[in-house]
Amino acid sequence: MLIMLITSIMMMMASILSKKSFNDREKLSPFECGFDPKSSPRMPFSLHFFLIAVIFLIFDIEISLLIPLVVIFKNSQLNMLMLIGFFFFLILLIGLYFEWNQGALNWLF
């Protein structure tokens, strides 16, 4: 109950003391100097580059998951560590094959 009271007081104080912003239509519109724009204001975005970046992040995270395998190597049984490492690499290779088979790793369309 005390936490709810403190939270409510903090929210009311933040709304009272915050800088007031006036939502004027002219201030919210984009600045134009009177000339017609030559091109679209949005930059083109490559979906293929985004997919490559996501695949890189996934494999980068999986590499960071491999580091504890090296650290716990001294404290575990060799057979169990090899089995876990094998299954982990097998999942990585299946994912890589799937991405390659779907054409996500090809730069040319």
How much is the pLDDT for 6? 92
Instruction: Give the distance from CA 27 to its chain's centroid.
Output: 32
pLDDT band at 5 (very low <50, low <70, confident <90, very high): very high
50: amino acid identity, one letter: F
Taking alpha carbons only, the member of 49, 30, 28 closest to residue 105 is 49
Looking at residues 96-103, what average pLDDT do you find?
83
pLDDT band at 33 (very low <50, low <70, confident <90, very high): low
Least confident range of 34-38, 50-54, 67-71, 94-98: 34-38
Give the model confidence (pLDDT) of 47-72 as tens digits: 778 878 888 888 788 778 777 777 77
H or E stretch including 94?
helix 78-102
89: amino acid identity, one letter: F
